Structure 1
Amino acid sequence: MQRYFLYFAYDGFRYHGWQIQPNGITVQECVEESLSLILREKISVVGAGRTDAGVHARVMVAHFDVDTVITNLDSFCDKLNRVLPSDIAAYKIVPVKNDAHSRFDAMSRTYHYYVIGNKSPFEERYAWRYHGSLDFEKMNRAASHLFDYMDFTSFSKLHTDVKTNNCRIMQARWEIMDNKAVFIIQADRFLRNMVRAIVGTLIDVGRGKISVIDFCHIIEQKNRCKAGVSMPGNALFLMDISYPDDIFMK
């Protein structure tokens, strides 16, 4: 038995999220079916996280086990790309130690959320359009306070089965690029809907609905009902996942 990490990307537009479910097509389902077809055995994959419906990934990682060793990884990746749907692309397949885990061994994950100020037929599918103006300087001041906290219950989807709502934020900032702005956030782990809820609350800051101090108070109250709305998933991208070097086969 050999374990592998599969690095791949996908456009989440037509998928009901990552995780297999009975009422809609998912990314996990397509990846498992494609791997099973090529390897001629039933393959199950474990993803590094669970993106929601419509959310995209420029880098997603999943691990899978196979009975026979894959001899030519580049060739196998090419075959996999021929079988996968056009909106899912495999980057590489890497052998890892048999106890390596794509989710639990991840040291950090990085997400981007894109917003645009003007209508664009080429970008609205992958960004959220705002009307009026946003005070990004004020939004960045609020975002800088994310480093002061560990418990992000206020930004978590209600009634999840996680044991803790503690996360360590490593990056959190807005960057402006002409008509487009991107919120970049990196953490050791994320809660369900956490990024979209943070962005929704920062948008309230940028619109002047709440102050920077109010933003901090919302975190401190540990109450999801106090925070802003969960933003649409189409503008959210999982951008990167980092792992320790020692889980990879030398």
Structure 2
Amino acid sequence: MRYFIEFAYKGTNYHGWQIQPEAISVQEVLTKATNLILKDTFELVGAGRTDAGVHASQMYAHFDTEVDFNFEDAVRKVNSYLPEDIAVFRIFPVSADAHTRFDATARTYEYHIHLKKNVFSKDLSWYHFRKLNIDKMNEAAKILLEYEDFECFSKTHTDVFTFNCTITEAHWQLNNDNLVFTISANRFLRNMVRAIVGTLINIGLEKIEVQEMRTIIESKNRGKAGFSVPAHGLYLTKVSYPYI
């Protein structure tokens, strides 16, 4: 039987989702907990990868087991074993060919910035105190929806076969002193969101003009885009499936 597990994590103490040879990861910790509670040995296959320090308020993984178990009891027991920065919401059965990574139709990320120093936002939001032109940042964000090839925002020397992504949503919203960038697409490249945010910050600082976003995208050159913002402000907030 195949099962999906829905969970969240604060990424501060982890070297990303994927198991690393000499660093602690979310996948390693969650796999150990589920294997222990269900008394079986299996691999968790995640919906995607997040980098070190990145958070997820909604993430999925799947696993296969023939062990018969009560879903609610398993969730309660796994959560009691897990550290406080990882939480399982539910475990549920799916079809044998369901796949958390390949079946996902969309993913949504948020990048959080606090514009006023806040001691409670450490590790959860990036502090940026310089004045930003948010109208220009939103104008530039709309340009992203006109393109599909985002090689300019991709980490170099990756093993992807295509740099094409379909972005369906990209905008900034200010709520008091908190600024949030939301972006949705069918897929994302490594470091893509953080590079996009860095580029939009440069536009907000009026270091470059809004229309230069097109020049940057069309260059397909990572060196033309902006800096990569710190990981701790980034959240994976939603993974969409046609059957959930």
- Conserved 8 A contact 2:7-2:86: yes
Aligned to 2:23: 24
Residue identity over aligned pairs, in percent, reads: 52
Gaps of 5+ in 2: none
SS in structure 2 at match of 1:36: helix
Cα deviation 1:117-156 (Å, max 9, x = unaligned): 1111011321111122000000000000000000000000
- Between the aligned partners of 1:216 and 1:161, the Cα distance in structure 2 is 25
Q: Which of 109, 123, 148 is matched with 2:146 structurally? A: 148
Deviates more, 1:123-132 or 1:106-115: 123-132
Deviation of residue 80 (structure 1)? 0.9
Tell me whether 1:50 sits opposite 2:59 in the alignment.
no
How many residues in Structure 1 have an aligned counterpart in Structure 2? Answer: 244
Cα deviation 1:179-200 (Å, max 9, x = unaligned): 0100000000000000000000
RMSD of aligned Cα (Å): 0.9
Letter of the 1:67 partner, please give it: E
Gaps of 5+ in 1: none
Q: Which runs of 4+ in 1 moved over 6 A?
A: none
SS in structure 1 at match of 2:5: strand
SS in structure 2 at match of 1:114: strand
- Between the aligned partners of 2:87 and 2:122, the Cα distance in structure 1 is 22
- Conserved 8 A contact 2:40-2:67: no
Note the 1:106-121 alignment, pairs <5 A. 106-121=104-119
Q: Which of 175, 197, 200 is matched with 1:199 structurally? A: 197
TM-score by length of 2: 0.98
Q: Which of 214, 231, 234 is matched with 1:233 structurally? A: 231
- Between the aligned partners of 1:32 and 1:43, the Cα distance in structure 2 is 8
TM-score by length of 1: 0.96
Letter of the 1:204 partner, please give it: N
Aligned to 1:166: 164
- Between the aligned partners of 1:225 and 1:4, the Cα distance in structure 2 is 42
- Between the aligned partners of 2:13 and 2:205, the Cα distance in structure 1 is 31
Tell me whether 1:9 sits opposite 2:8 in the alignment.
yes
- Between the aligned partners of 2:85 and 2:121, the Cα distance in structure 1 is 17
- Between the aligned partners of 1:117 and 1:96, the Cα distance in structure 2 is 43
- Between the aligned partners of 1:169 and 1:91, the Cα distance in structure 2 is 28
